[in-house]
Structure 1
Amino acid sequence: MTGSGRILALLGTCTALSACTLGPDFRRPDIISPASYGPEPQDVAGLTYGGPVDVTWWKRFNDQELNSLIDRLAVQNIDLQRGMQRIAEARSQTRIAAAQGLPSLNWAGSYARTHQSETGFISLVQPRNGAPNEYDFFQNTLGASWDLDLFGQIRRAVEAQHASQEAAVEARHGLALSTLATLVDSYMQLRGVQDQIAITERHVAVADHDVVLVETRFGNGAATTLDLAQARTEQANTASALPVLRNSESALINAIGVLLDEPPRSLAVELAARDGTMPKIIPSAPVGLPSALARRRPDIREAEAKLHMATAGVGVAIAAFYPDITLTGQMGTQTLSAANFFSLPSRQFATGPTLSVPLFEGGRLRGTLALRKAEQKDAALAFHQTVTTAWNEVDNALTAYAQSQKRLEQTRIAWEESRKAIAIAREQYREGAVDFLQVDNAESAALAAEATYSANRIQIATAFVALYRALGGGWEYPALSGDNAAKRG
């Protein structure tokens, strides 16, 4: 059978069946997930287990200020608001595409005052006696058309737009997850910097006391000029860390302010350091099952929607090779007198199908089909890459969370031992058994050990944030997901 014969046969089949849809049907990709996440050390304070992922995991820190910031984030964050607008845009595009498959109806009315040229085309005919060269012309037309979409080009386009809309929804979910994690991470780092400031200020006070002590001993002849210089050097070095830390504190407060669409310094009082703001170690963290990760992570769901959109695009390109039938009709009136505008003799109508058959497009249709197939393959590879990245991110986050906790005990021991060392060094200095260099070294070691211990506690908190970011938990929180608002739109 020739190519034209196959087209006619398919056209007859689709006409008999009312319509058929060409192109590949989308099938959700198979994902082979591991039975469980990798083994992690269990002799740590914050354990992980396979329970359902907590969608409000940040509440485990039991920090009311943090909870308040996140509740405001859902309302005030500009990126989340823009994400909602992109969903609205995608929904409008879907409605536009769907409208192509529905009958259209329109009305047009016109009036024209016409004067015929005596030397124009009218000179070729013999006018009726008394016929004027100047006259009024009234026209009233109701037109209708309906593309039968026999081969599913419109239906595939609508399918592609539905998938695009789903991708926009998942992109906003991913944005909600990213913004949430960024806020919690910035908050934890802020509390860590404020704790570092408090530690440094305590050591500055100790350094000040040491300077007074050495100056007194120097005045009594029990200390040397070198001792005094070393004490003042330690005092200056310790105090020099404060401007850097306070700069970091200000930058983190402003970073949180940007997420909440607040002007600079507006959150300075609210986020000021206070007792009890250091994050607690979470006693247990449910991490779900690997098989549920693909259904929970927004980036995987978005990649799947984009693959669906690309697959439907192939169907649109294939259907473009086949004929298209549009039913058209119009009815109305035409008259030279307004008095006869609605009279029966003034009526006019026309109706019938229009068949459009692509004969020669200069390779445009084949090029479009090749492009759409390449886009589908690219989307499939992107989906696979997204899934692979997700497994690796979860595994890395689990390891980081466990190992940062194992390090905490060692940093705590180092801090406690450094405190003992400085007490011994000070006592020996008072007794004249050692010079001030020993005290200076002990104080520097104590400051570094306490700062390391504090930083490690924050590292555990940020590792916990990274873990739930990798697990895709948190965007489901109703205030952040925006699903209800999206449906209302």
Structure 2
Amino acid sequence: MTPYSLFRISLLAPACALLIACTSPLQAPVTPTVNTPPDEWFHQSEAVAPAAEWWRQLGSDELNLLLSIAMRDNPDVQIARERLISADASLRQARADRWPSVSVRAGASHKKDLDGSGEGFNSGSSLSFSAGYEVDLWARRATDIDSSELDYESQRIALRSVEMTLTGQVVQQYIALLAARESLCLARSNLAASQELERIMQVKFDAGAVSGVELAQQRNTTLSLVGRLAALETALHSEERALAYLVGVDELRLPELTMTLEELDLPQVARIQPASLLEQRPDIRQASIALWQAHADVWQAESSRWPSLSLSAGLSASDVINPTGWALSLGESLSMPLFDAGKIKAQIAQAESAERTARIQYRAIVTAAMLEALDALGELDYQVKALANSEAVFENNRRLLRLATIRFDSGDTDFTSLLSAQRTFFSARDAMLSARQSHLQALAALYLTLGDIPRN
């Protein structure tokens, strides 16, 4: 074979190698089969379209504003975004390895004889170009690119997971804040009612219509409400700071919030949801990516046993100032491991074990997701019934207090009955508020569990 033929082969080899490197040998890993619950538990059908802004169903512009600020200023979201940027840079580095590396080097030298035999300095210069490329015979580089793409997708899903988690925390903390404010308003209203009843009791006591014991009992009720009011004021400030921290406000001060808990919408949710909604959950998607990555690691470990081919080329001029000619050099090298005392075999075994572990973890995560979804559906169903019951109890106790007040004013009943009706009424109001808060919290938890808006 002539030198010219060798030269042409050397030039064509990188092009062929680039074509080889464009194709990844990876096949889809075997995904574990997970049996879904019966249809009467968890209905199988087409999932609704992904909806990232599920919280808008609650109908609160204040909440929309808080979440927009949180997605911009929360430190956890900012860190997740930076990790996604880093993963993108890593992916671009992996893709750049598909191309040959080319470099240029220029140099100059000056020398002078110190024995005085020469005059001045003798100067010289050089210029050289070099190129190198490792042929991707076994698509290792393509597999590296696949792994980097999976890393990028994993970080993208991680960002989505952080955003979803933060959304749930902000929504639930917002609900808790509104509930705390509502509890404070109820406590003030109850205190005002108790103080008014105490005033009436004082008038009746002065007129000799009631005893001092009855007046003291009402006074105890008033003092108890005063203590509860102070505790609720402290709790409200704590809830405000907690929400400001989640939103990412450095000074821990929120914008003015005027909405009440009763003004939040309560969307209706069907008791049976499509299992395919779970596909939107970040943990399931990340488990699938982890299985792919473990599968790619097995290929990488196995390919370590096979030969590797490297190509190199160089072009240089010995003197740039007075060039006397150019020199071209070409090189190829082929290498493969012969003996490593079982190191590569152990690496393959380790990678295969990691893939089996990822498959088990995938199945466990999917099963756990179904369990969480079923529990969340059951909890929401219970809270819907509990809220309806607490509203009925409140209405009944409001009528009871009204009747007890009328009978007490007319002298048909004693103060003990009125006091009991009053306490029951106060308790029913608090229970109704707590039930509405629990209903909203269960609704938010279901959204987060499904990773999407449930069907109504």
TM-score of the alignment, normalized to the shorter chain, above 0.5: yes
Counterpart residue number, 2:79: 82
- Cα distance in 1 for residues equivalent to 2:386 and 2:377: 15
- Cα distance in 2 for residues equivalent to 1:277 and 1:190: 13
- Cα distance in 2 for residues equivalent to 1:404 and 1:185: 15
Structure 2 residue identity aligned to 1:26: A
- Cα distance in 2 for residues equivalent to 1:68 and 1:339: 68
Shift of 1:222: 2.6
Shift of 1:247: 2.8
Shift of 1:364: 3.8
Shift of 1:59: 2.4
Shift of 1:424: 3.7
- Cα distance in 2 for residues equivalent to 1:37 and 1:73: 38
The higher relative CO (CA closer than 8 Å, separation ≥ 6) is in 1
Which 10-residue stretch deviates more, 171-180 or 61-70? Answer: 61-70
**Native 8 Å contact 2:190 2:426 kept in 1:** yes
- Residue aligned with 1:210, SS: helix
Which 10-residue stretch deviates more, 447-456 or 210-219? Answer: 210-219
- Cα distance in 2 for residues equivalent to 1:227 and 1:116: 120
Which 10-residue stretch deviates more, 186-195 or 462-471? Answer: 186-195
Structure 2 residue identity aligned to 1:271: L
Question: Percent of aligned positions with the same letter in both sequences?
Answer: 22
Aligned 1:82-481 pairs, distance under 5 A = 82-113=79-110, 136-267=123-254, 270-272=256-258, 274=259, 277-284=262-269, 289-294=274-279, 296-335=280-319, 339-340=321-322, 343-345=323-325, 347-431=326-410, 435-473=414-452
- Cα distance in 1 for residues equivalent to 2:85 and 2:157: 13
**Native 8 Å contact 1:24 1:314 kept in 2:** no
- Cα distance in 2 for residues equivalent to 1:364 and 1:22: 25
- Cα distance in 1 for residues equivalent to 2:105 and 2:415: 100
User: For 1:52-71, what per-residue CA distance to the aligned partner results, in whole angstroms no more than 9, with x for missing partners?
Assistant: 25714322222222233334
Shift of 1:368: 2.8
- Residue aligned with 1:302, SS: helix
Structure 2 residue identity aligned to 1:98: R
**Native 8 Å contact 2:47 2:276 kept in 1:** no
Structure 1 residue identity aligned to 2:288: E
CA RMSD of aligned residues (A): 3.2
Counterpart residue number, 1:485: none
- Cα distance in 1 for residues equivalent to 2:251 and 2:419: 39
1:306–1:320 CA distance, 2 compared to 1 (3 A): same
User: For 1:271-318, what per-residue CA distance to the aligned partner results, in whole angstroms no more than 9, with x for missing partners?
Assistant: 24x567542322345975213422x22221111112111211111111
Structure 2 residue identity aligned to 1:293: L
User: For 1:325-376, what per-residue CA distance to the aligned partner results, in whole angstroms no more than 9, with x for missing partners?
Assistant: 11011111224xx632xx133x333211022222344544334323322322
- Cα distance in 1 for residues equivalent to 2:33 and 2:80: 28
- Residue aligned with 2:144, SS: helix
Count of residue pairs the alignment pairs up: 433
Structure 2 residue identity aligned to 1:283: Q
- Residue aligned with 2:147, SS: helix
Shift of 1:148: 0.3
1:19–1:200 CA distance, 2 compared to 1 (3 A): closer
**Native 8 Å contact 1:109 1:139 kept in 2:** yes
**Native 8 Å contact 2:21 2:141 kept in 1:** no
Shift of 1:18: 5.3
Could you tell me the TM-score, scaled by structure 1's length?
0.79
- Cα distance in 1 for residues equivalent to 2:439 and 2:24: 54
- Cα distance in 1 for residues equivalent to 2:38 and 2:275: 6
**Native 8 Å contact 1:19 1:150 kept in 2:** yes
Counterpart residue number, 1:484: none
Shift of 1:250: 2.4
- Residue aligned with 1:344, SS: coil
- Cα distance in 2 for residues equivalent to 1:114 and 1:258: 68
- Cα distance in 2 for residues equivalent to 1:446 and 1:327: 87
**Native 8 Å contact 1:230 1:436 kept in 2:** no
1:51–1:360 CA distance, 2 compared to 1 (3 A): closer
1:145–1:425 CA distance, 2 compared to 1 (3 A): same
- Cα distance in 1 for residues equivalent to 2:257 and 2:22: 62
Counterpart check, 1:26 vs 2:28: yes
1:339–1:303 CA distance, 2 compared to 1 (3 A): same
- Residue aligned with 1:400, SS: helix
**Native 8 Å contact 1:38 1:395 kept in 2:** no
Shift of 1:428: 4.3
Which 10-residue stretch deviates more, 275-284 or 189-198? Answer: 275-284
1:460–1:18 CA distance, 2 compared to 1 (3 A): closer
Out of 52, 69, 93, which is 2:48 matched to?
52
Structure 2 residue identity aligned to 1:307: L
Structure 2 residue identity aligned to 1:388: T
Counterpart residue number, 2:3: none
User: For 1:112-161, what per-residue CA distance to the aligned partner results, in whole angstroms no more than 9, with x for missing partners?
Assistant: 3457999xxxxxxxxxxx999x8545322111001101122222111111
- Cα distance in 2 for residues equivalent to 1:325 and 1:50: 50
Q: Which runs of 5+ in 2 are unaligned?
A: 1-15
Structure 2 residue identity aligned to 1:344: T
- Residue aligned with 2:99, SS: coil
User: For 1:139-196, what per-residue CA distance to the aligned partner results, in whole angstroms no more than 9, with x for missing partners?
Assistant: 2211100110112222211111111111111111222222222222222222222222
Shift of 1:235: 0.4
- Cα distance in 2 for residues equivalent to 1:369 and 1:395: 39
